[in-house]
């Protein structure tokens, strides 16, 4: 609605969007629950009820667009790294479009990113993005920085940290003695790094699964909010050579990943990047989206002077 050329939208028209936007409540109830996001008013000429995005929300939408533009080079690097993780340096443009929000890519990234940087990317076939040249400066995974810190600051041996992942179990989680030993063995298990594709299928099922954990960790580390919808993540399975059941793998490692089932979808978070529901290292895009979320959560009941929209059968 914010992209419509007119300054208003009829509530009758908005009521038809319920299924499109995936609402499980009436559109009138939804609009009424978010008075800081939507403004309802009577059209001065046609005299029917209309709805528009509040100025407060429009300001945040413009702020997000500005921040996305300022973060363009970061988005370029993220896209390069995604393509380098794929087995042939190619990814479907549709898959990238599905995760554009998570990776800070603009909606028109084909024109504003891919076409703008022909020295880095090119479109091949109708719907495939290809990396023109690998950038070796970007092949250090986020987890390797953590390992270096553990090695230097905690004086842990290289044997303990070389292939380890940060483990942060949820409050109240109890790990059995045998499982603790298995985890210690798994932490030391060698595996192929996300940007290394030599003999990716060798080493047995455990190393293959650990490689998949490494890819998922790196993928989530690159996202703006260190989270992604699992269904969208599944679009990258074949390109990243992860022929595993993603949900089972994520559930198998609760100390690394957290799965939320709020709403109508499953979302996976990188547990070590959060503390008390807040990102430990916030970025400009995350901060403006957090302000949007805070605005959405500011709900209030209608006053006696306001007509409840649920009575309008919308």
d(CA 204, CA 21): 43
Region of residue 276 (left: phi > 0; alpha: psi -120 to 50; beta: else): left
pLDDT at 90: 96
Residues 50 and 11: beta-carbon distance below 8 Å: yes
Question: What is the token pair recorded at 149?
Answer: 């810190």
- Residues of the chain short of pLDDT 70, as ranges, are 1-8, 12, 14-25, 155-156, 199-203, 263, 299-314
- Residue partners of 203: CB distance under 8 A and separation at least 6: 190, 191, 192
pLDDT at 270: 97
pLDDT at 20: 60
Closest C-alpha to 216, from 207, 206, 226, 225: 226
Mind listing the pLDDT tens digit for each residue in 232-290?
999 999 999 998 899 999 999 999 999 998 767 899 999 999 988 889 999 999 999 99
DSSP string, 165-200: ----PPTT----HHHHHHHHHHHH-----TT--TTT
In this structure, whether the domain defined by 72-131 belongs to CATH 1.10.10 is answered with: yes
pLDDT at 74: 96
pLDDT at 92: 96
Exposure b/e, 187-204, CB count within 10 A at least 16 = b: eeeebbbbbebeebeeee
Mind listing the pLDDT tens digit for each residue in 139-149?
999 999 889 88
Neighbouring-strand partners of residue 168 = none
Which letter does DSSP use for residue 308 in this model? Answer: P
Per-domain boundaries in the chain: 9-62+295-312, 72-131, 140-281
Region of residue 216 (left: phi > 0; alpha: psi -120 to 50; beta: else): alpha
d(CA 38, CA 18): 15
């Amino acid at each position: 609605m914010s992209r419509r050329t007119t300054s208003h939208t009829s509530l009758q028209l908005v009521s038809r969007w319920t299924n499109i936007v995936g609402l499980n409540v009436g559109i009138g109830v939804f609009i009424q629950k978010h008075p800081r996001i939507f403004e309802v008013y009577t059209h001065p000429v046609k005299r029917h009820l209309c709805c528009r995005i509040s100025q407060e929300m429009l300001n945040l939408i413009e702020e997000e667009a500005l921040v996305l533009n300022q973060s363009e080079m970061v988005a370029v690097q993220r896209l390069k790294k995604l393509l380098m993780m794929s087995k042939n340096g190619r990814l479907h443009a549709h898959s990238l479009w599905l995760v554009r929000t998570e990776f800070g890519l603009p909606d028109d990234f084909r024109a504003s990113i891919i076409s703008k940087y022909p020295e880095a990317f090119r479109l091949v076939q109708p719907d495939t993005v290809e990396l023109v040249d690998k950038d070796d400066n970007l092949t250090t995974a986020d987890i390797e920085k953590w390992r270096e810190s553990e090695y230097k600051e905690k004086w842990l041996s290289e044997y303990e940290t070389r292939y380890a992942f940060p483990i942060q179990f949820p409050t109240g989680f109890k790990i059995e003695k045998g499982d603790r030993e298995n985890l210690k063995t798994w932490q030391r298990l060698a595996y192929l790094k996300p940007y290394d594709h030599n003999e990716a299928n060798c080493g047995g099922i455990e190393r293959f699964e650990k490689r998949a954990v490494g890819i998922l960790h790196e993928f989530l580390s690159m996202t703006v909010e260190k989270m992604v919808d699992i269904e969208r993540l599944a679009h990258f399975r074949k390109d990243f050579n992860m022929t595993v059941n993603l949900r089972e793998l994520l559930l198998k490692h609760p100390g690394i990943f957290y799965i939320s089932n709020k709403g109508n979808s499953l979302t996976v978070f990188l547990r070590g990047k959060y503390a008390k529901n807040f990102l430990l290292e916030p970025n400009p895009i995350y901060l403006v989206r957090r302000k949007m979320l805070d605005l959405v959560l500011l709900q209030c009941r209608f006053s006696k002077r306001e007509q409840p929209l649920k009575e309008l059968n919308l």
